[in-house]
Amino acid sequence: MKLFDSNLDIQDHIRTLKRRKYYFLIPFMLVLLIGIFKITTRTPEYESYCVVQITPTQLPSNLQRVVPKVTYYQRAVSLKMQILNSPNLLKIIERLRLDEDQRIREKALQMKSRMPDKNLDEIIQFLLLKNLQKQMKVRTFGDDFIEIRVTDRDPEFAYNKVKTILDIFMEEFIERELTSIQKVKEFNYQQLEIYKKELEESERRLSEYKKELIVGQDTKSKILSREALDRINEAMVAIDLSVREQETYLKNLKSQLTSRGQRALEKFPRTPAINNYYSEIRMKINQLAELMKHYTWKSSEVITVNKSIIDLRENISIELEKYFRNSFPTLDAQTLRLMNENAMALLDLEIANRKKEVMNQIITASKYSTSTSQANELTQAKLEEAVQINRDLYNLFLQQIQGTQIEESIQRVNEPGRFNIVEPPIKPLEPTNAGITLHILLTMLFALMAGLGTVYFREFHDKSIRTVEEVEQLFEIPVIGVIPYLENEPFVHINSLENSTIQSEKNHGNITKQSG
């Protein structure tokens, strides 16, 4: 039968249903019975919900350019994760004491054999988390609206869970935002301190380079005499001897400190005061090297500069003693003395190397009288560029610190009004799966669809030929005649008539024989 043939009328469909009545009745009754069973045995479920709006923080315009943009999808996912994450669900369990439910404990005891590596409390926690994730639904809509729904068999529990979730979410939201701002502020403070030191160091290098450049230009304008060159070479030999002595002395100090369980310093400590004194020593060394071109070590000019270097060195020694006493108050006096001597030896070694370096510069300058102003200008430009970069970074982090302080103040001021409860949680009065009439009507509709679907599915897969048109279409030959279908009852009737006639003839024959 062609189900979608336009020539079929309603009578054809009725005949089909009569012929396939069992294919209709069996699925219809099965679906109907199953639906009625489900309706009568279902457990009522109650749903409570709330809608809350998060008021966005209005940042100043200069901060809005710095703060990265967040898409709606990213914000929606973030808010859902904040509500549905395990720590928040554990807080709900703790506040509502859900782990005290006897049914959950019995179910956990039944699962203990399947989870031998976990204790009873962990299994209870696992079951409660699973139930809460199944009962809770979080939806975001608009820009900052959040809808929280909870389904439970107990209306009181459904209401309490929604209210508790909302309270925990608001608390965690404010705390998380303030914590994030605090972390950003701490990071900016750290970076500000780093780039402040970098800026001071780059400015110091540029200043020293300019001073050295001026000294270098003066030395290049003059060629050293033979006597001055000899004096400088002798001084460098003496400096080399001093360096070796200091290195030997440092090794000895290192072994003594190691034996006392203290690590020797690789560089002497730098405080602002020590840096100032050391900068003056470097200047005095430059001055001393300049004087060596004209005077001997025993001249009053050279002795005066050397005395100034010694005084500055003593000042650094005093500062180092203060530093070590403040930094290591628990160490004994002997260890502090060794550490101070170690730092002073490092200082003397650096002073000696500095002297040697300046002397080499003078000798090199005397050998080459040509100017290297272009190279000096390039170096100076690089140093100035480094100063500018560090200054820009310092100002940037300073601005960000000010921005985070403003943002933190705004968050604290606006904290009471950050949340607008559009629809507060209410205790449900009726189960969400109520409405028996509607469910029965739906069940009957599905049962009817199942029965009709089964009938037409069977009819569609039936390959029998039932009409003249189907024969002509299938075999492509004309039909000459049709033998009508006769019911079984007439055939039985005819046969019975024939049998009775034959029996009468036999009886008539027997009667004739007897009369003869």
| Helices and strands counted in the chain (H then E) | 16, 4
What are the residue boundaries of the structural domains of the chain, listed by start?
Answer: 1-42+433-500, 46-187+410-423, 196-403
* Average pLDDT rounded to a whole number, residues 486-492: 50
Q: Please choose, from the candidates 350, 351, 324, the residue with its C-alpha nearest in 3D space to the C-alpha of residue 337.
A: 324
At 417, the pLDDT band (50, 70, 90 cuts) reads low
Helices (H), 221-271: 226-259
Query: Band of the pLDDT at 260, cuts 50, 70, 90?
Result: confident
More confident of the two residues 433 and 425: 425
The string of pLDDT tens digits covering residues 31-87 is 888 887 776 766 778 888 888 887 765 544 444 444 444 454 566 677 777 777 788
pTM above 0.95, yes or no: no
Looking at residue 91, its amino acid is K
**Residue that wins the pLDDT comparison between 419 and 331:** 331
Structure tokens belonging to residue 264: 């020797």
In the three-class reduction of DSSP (H, G, I as helix; E, B as strand; rest coil), residue 151 is classed as strand
Residues 254-286 as b or e (16 or more Cβ within 10 Å = b) = bebbeeeebebbeebbeeeebeebbebbbbbbb
b/e code 2-37 from CB counts within 10 Å (16+ = b): eeeeeeeeeeebeebbeebeebbeebbeebbeebee
For 455, the enclosing helix (H) or strand (E) is helix 436-460
- Is residue 467 scored above 60 in pLDDT? yes
pLDDT tens profile 225-252? 777 777 778 888 888 888 888 888 888 8
pLDDT at 76 (0 to 100) = 63
Q: Does residue 360 sit in helix, strand or coil?
A: helix
